[in-house]
Amino acid sequence: MIRGLTRAGLGSTWSNEEFIRKAAAYGFESVDIDAKGLISSLGREGAASLLAETDVAIGAIGLPVDWRSTDAAFKQALPALAESSAAAAALGCTRCVTYILPSTDQPSARFMAQAVYRLRVCAEILGAYGLRFGLEFVGPHHARTSKKNPFIWTVEETLDMAAAIGLPNVGLLVDSYHCHTTGFQPSQLERLKAEQIVHVHINDAKDLPVEELRDNDRLYTGEGVIDLKGFLSALKKIGYDGPVAQEVLTPEPPAGDPEELLKRTKAGFDQVFPD
């Protein structure tokens, strides 16, 4: 498994280049950034050189498509999706991810039908560039009722959605916080196959009843109550060898020196990563 970072929780104003260099300096092997943006600032050659030099990969790009609102919004973003996919592929990135909110203001059934169609189109485009597509279920309970109608939030439901999409490059983004808040145990994770998992997020939870945990109030890796050793051991056991990227969403941008936060993150990873 690859030690990875997202920017969430680091509170930095680092450029992508600085972020990559800092990540490398603390032993991280992947960062989740916008590949197209990196190429915009450094050129394709420059971006590729930086990644090669630092031995840092782009773990995943985010899906640059608003598939949750209107058909017009969806379509408008497809040229950008093709461009972002091309940029990602040019830098060796093989993953794109999107999250699925557990409630929606639209009627649930119709929204699922629309989502399946739209995400299939996205998956076909991503697949043409060799990218896999990870669907992230979102577990916190408050988010299940923050919009009018319930949608989906469990692994099983997300796998059903992936089956409905029906393409070979679609799988899960497994986030430790969402596993925790949906009661998805390491033993259950062991029943998945590695190839069903496209990407992994890691972070920790406060010692509260899971019903009270807020999506944007997470803790740094290793500083909370989630059995992250169990989580990572299960992933290792089934043969997952992709990135495990920290994503710490917080109510306020984290205070403190970004480099200190990075050091703290490294310490957390050291503590929970299996040998």
Query: Is residue 250 at the binding interface for a second copy, with CB under 8 A as the rule?
Result: no
Judged by CB under 8 A, the residue of 152, 155, 200, 232 near a second copy is 152
Is residue 233 classed as helix, strand or coil in its secondary structure?
helix
Query: Is residue 81 at the binding interface for a second copy, with CB under 8 A as the rule?
Result: yes
Query: Is residue 35 at the binding interface for a second copy, with CB under 8 A as the rule?
Result: no
Q: Closest Cα partner for 165 from 181, 152, 178, 179?
A: 152
CA–CA dist 254, 265 (Å, integer):
13
Query: Is residue 109 at the binding interface for a second copy, with CB under 8 A as the rule?
Result: yes
Query: Is residue 235 at the binding interface for a second copy, with CB under 8 A as the rule?
Result: no
Q: Which stretch binds a second copy (CB under 8 A): 11-19, 155-163, 182-190, 245-253?
A: 155-163
CA-CA-CA-CA torsion sign (172, 177, 179, 185) = positive
CA–CA dist 35, 84 (Å, integer):
7
The gap between the terminal CA atoms of the chain, to the nearest Å, is: 10
Q: Closest Cα partner for 159 from 184, 135, 131, 189?
A: 135
Pick the closer one to a second copy by CB: 200 or 219: 200
Q: Which stretch binds a second copy (CB under 8 A): 4-12, 14-22, 193-201, 248-256?
A: 193-201
Query: Is residue 168 at the binding interface for a second copy, with CB under 8 A as the rule?
Result: yes
Give me the least distance between CB of 131 and a second copy, in Å please: 11
CA–CA dist 150, 136 (Å, integer):
16
Q: Which stretch binds a second copy (CB under 8 A): 147-155, 178-186, 210-218, 223-231?
A: 147-155
Which residue intervals of 129-223 are DSSP H helices?
Answer: 155-165, 176-181, 186-189
Size of the site for a second copy (CB under 8 A): 48
Query: Is residue 37 at the binding interface for a second copy, with CB under 8 A as the rule?
Result: no
Token output for 106: 């639209």
Rule CB under 8 A: which residues touch a second copy? 74-76, 78-79, 81-83, 85-86, 89, 104, 107-114, 116-118, 120-121, 124-125, 127-129, 149-152, 156-157, 160-161, 163-164, 166-168, 170, 193-195, 239
